[in-house]
Amino acid sequence: MNEPSVASFIDGRTVATSAVYENIDPSTGRSLGEVSRAGAAQVDEAVATARAAHRSWRATTPEHRGDLLCCLADLIDTHTEELARLESEDSGKPLTQARNDARVCARYFRFYGRAIDSYYGLSIPLRPDLHVYTRREPHGVTGHILAWNYPLQLFARRVAPALATGNCAVVKPADETPRTALALARLARTAGLPSGVLNVVTGLGAETGAALAAHPGIDHLGFVGSTRVGSLVAAAAAERVSPVTLELGGKSAHMVFADADVPKAAEVAARAILQNAGQTCSAGSRVLVHESVHAEMVERIAAHFAKVTIGPGLTDPDLGPLISRKQQERVRGYVDGVGTGTGNGSGSGSGEIVFGGTVAEPAGITEGAYFLPTLIDGVDPAASIAQEEVFGPVLATFPFATEEEAVALANGTEYALLGAVWTADLSRAHRVAAEVEAGQVYVNTYGAGGGVELPFGGSRKSGYGREKGVEALDSCTATKTVVVQL
Ligand code: NAD
């Protein structure tokens, strides 16, 4: 596979613009090259192309679409190494994590390629003289605006069910990570996907993304990113009454009870916040611990952090850089106030930094975007670092005394994405799982290896709608009811 040139991919062709921006490698601060900035004209072209391709694509059989998606999955598997390298350079993520993302990306295409054969409407026995049935029909042209933290996975989890159900797609990858989206679109052509069915527009969010969100030819929009931009995108879609799926931020909590396997909980919580340098929407960034095991938990997490290797993504450390120097500054801003006793606003200066707390310069790399794994204890639950999504390798621990207090703390932010219960008490596990406001709850574990098959999504400031699993097929289709007088 040749390295893709970094410009939009429309109707099977590369469409470049004279306007470009620099793609910066966060591991080194160096430029990886220029990226074409698609404007309204290129977005228009991509949507028109997808519209033209839709008539024949929606008429293909599920079996045919499934075969193509499975073939694409096989190609992705064959190209894991190239895809992982591009992903690691663009995002800074450690190579092992990027390889895993490529494998999960292939699994999405295979899962929906296989599932679409058995995705049916209903027959409704309303009256003996009426034959009533439902059809699941594609929306038409779907738009997808993606975040930079898991580019391969996010692309696949949105695009695979959309194509499987007979939609065409226009994808806007994140500004920082355009290259694997282009590589996937090219592999899809190699797999036999007709030109125009899948198009990628590269560019900046406020230009290319905004043009896609506001485009009248988009029948359904999927957005993965921050709560602030998600609400802008949803407002633009609302102007033309277009449905939207929003996958936004999170502030998810582990709840570790006194009877939990504390060593395991500490290990999993530490590993989960280190993954992708904490830049994961579903990161368990808060650890609520029963007061009787609180000190042990803090000590164990700090011991895990002490062993972490840090470096450029391609050297495959435990912890790579953050996505950018800007993100590094943002994380530093949250951490700097901790323990000063002087923070302004609710409780900002409370707490203590148990481990880390500052930027890092591994191997003397001064232009990278590294931040030490950081553990903060005892911060006021109302403080901004305890309430807002930090999006860095920063974990905050909070003691609790009762189950009610743990649930109240877990539900005490504006987000509602994930939760985890660590306990040996089966009844408590189910009771708390029901009480936690989240789209997914884990018991004595966290995450599920990509979770391709598991419905995923949040509520409140974490967004709405569901992706992944068979539910994504419902999101990608509209139900038509047909009533026939016999
Ligand atoms: P972001 O909101 O800055 O950008 C997301 C996408 O929106 C990018 O493609 C960007 O170019 C585009 N964009 C920016 N401004 C736009 C505008 N005005 N109009 C249209 N599009 C615009 O988010 P980010 O910094 O790339 O990603 C981090 C966020 O994504 C975090 O909050 C994280 O929690 C969230 N996220 C959520 C999930 C989930 O499934 N819930 C998954 C991954 C990431």
The enclosing H or E element of 422 equals: strand 418-422
Instruction: Name the residue with the closest Cα to ligand 1, atom 12.
Output: 205
Contact indicator for 160, 109 with CB cutoff of 8 Å:
yes
In this structure, are 58 and 97 located in the same domain? Answer: yes
Return the CATH number at 345.
3.40.309.10
The residue type of 477 is: T
Domain of residue 427, residue span: 253-452
Give the ligand 1 atom nearest the CA of 175.
Answer: 11
Quick one: pLDDT at residue 349? 82
Which residue out of 36, 145, 150, 326 has the highest number of ligand 1 atoms within 8 Å of its CB and is therefore the one to mutate?
145
Instruction: Name the residue with the closest Cα to ligand 1, atom 22.
Output: 205
In this structure, are 443 and 481 located in the same domain? Answer: no
In this structure, are 39 and 170 located in the same domain? Answer: yes
Helix/strand/coil for 464: strand
Instruction: Name the residue with the closest Cα to ligand 1, atom 35.
Output: 225
Active site residue ranges: 247, 281
Instruction: Name the residue with the closest Cα to ligand 1, atom 16.
Output: 205
Contact indicator for 282, 440 with CB cutoff of 8 Å:
yes
CA of 402 to the centre of ligand 1 (A): 36
Q: How far is CA 217 from CA 1, 12, 52, 306, in A?
A: 33, 19, 11, 52
Contact indicator for 455, 471 with CB cutoff of 8 Å:
yes
Cα gap 148→104, rounded to integer Å: 16
In this structure, are 274 and 221 located in the same domain? Answer: no
Give the ligand 1 atom nearest the CA of 213.
Answer: 20
In this structure, are 430 and 471 located in the same domain? Answer: no
DSSP state of 203: S
CA of 229 to the centre of ligand 1 (A): 7
CA of 223 to the centre of ligand 1 (A): 7
Return the CATH number at 54.
3.40.605.10
CA of 145 to the centre of ligand 1 (A): 7
In this structure, are 470 and 353 located in the same domain? Answer: no
In this structure, are 241 and 301 located in the same domain? Answer: no
The residue type of 159 is: V
CA of 209 to the centre of ligand 1 (A): 10
Cα gap 318→307, rounded to integer Å: 9
Give the ligand 1 atom nearest the CA of 228.
Answer: 2
pTM for this prediction: 0.96
Which residue out of 37, 215, 227, 229 has the highest number of ligand 1 atoms within 8 Å of its CB and is therefore the one to mutate?
229
Answer whether residue 362 is part of any domain: yes
Answer whether residue 1 is part of any domain: no
**Residue of 266, 278, 276 whose CA lies nearest to 304:** 266
The domain total for the chain is 2
Contact indicator for 433, 421 with CB cutoff of 8 Å:
yes
Instruction: Name the residue with the closest Cα to ligand 1, atom 18.
Output: 206
In this structure, are 223 and 350 located in the same domain? Answer: no
Give the ligand 1 atom nearest the CA of 225.
Answer: 30
Answer whether residue 378 is part of any domain: yes
- What is the separation of C-alpha 422 from the centre of its chain, rounded to a whole number of angstroms? 24
CA of 249 to the centre of ligand 1 (A): 9
In this structure, are 217 and 305 located in the same domain? Answer: no
Answer whether residue 238 is part of any domain: yes
Question: What string of pLDDT tens digits covers the 486 residues of the chain?
Answer: 444 469 999 999 999 999 999 999 999 999 999 999 999 999 999 999 999 999 999 999 999 999 999 999 999 999 999 999 999 999 999 999 999 999 999 999 999 999 999 999 999 999 999 999 999 999 999 999 999 999 999 999 999 999 999 999 999 999 999 999 999 999 999 999 999 999 999 999 999 999 999 999 999 999 999 999 999 999 999 999 999 999 999 999 999 999 999 999 999 999 999 999 999 999 999 999 999 999 999 999 999 999 999 999 999 999 999 999 999 999 999 999 898 876 555 666 889 999 999 999 998 999 999 999 999 999 999 999 999 999 999 999 999 999 999 999 999 999 999 999 999 999 999 999 999 999 999 999 998 777 999 999 999 999 999 999 999 999 999 999 999 999
Answer whether residue 457 is part of any domain: no
Cα gap 267→308, rounded to integer Å: 12
CA of 450 to the centre of ligand 1 (A): 19
φ, ψ for residue 45, nearest 5 deg: -65, -45
Answer whether residue 3 is part of any domain: no
Token pair recorded at residue 454:
């598991």
Answer whether residue 97 is part of any domain: yes
Answer whether residue 343 is part of any domain: yes
Give the ligand 1 atom nearest the CA of 230.
Answer: 2
Reported as a single tens digit per residue, the pLDDT across 275-324 is: 999 999 999 999 999 999 999 999 999 999 999 999 999 999 999 999 99
| Ligand 1 first shell, C-beta below 6 A | 145-150, 172, 174-175, 205-206, 209-210, 213, 224-226, 229, 232-233, 247-250, 281, 389, 391, 463
DSSP state of 4: P
Cα gap 477→348, rounded to integer Å: 45
Which residue out of 226, 227, 413, 415 has the highest number of ligand 1 atoms within 8 Å of its CB and is therefore the one to mutate?
226
- CA-based angle 336:341:347, to the nearest 5? 85
Which residue out of 176, 201, 224 has the highest number of ligand 1 atoms within 8 Å of its CB and is therefore the one to mutate?
224
In this structure, are 180 and 239 located in the same domain? Answer: yes
In this structure, are 191 and 320 located in the same domain? Answer: no
In this structure, are 150 and 207 located in the same domain? Answer: yes
CA of 369 to the centre of ligand 1 (A): 19
Cα gap 409→132, rounded to integer Å: 48
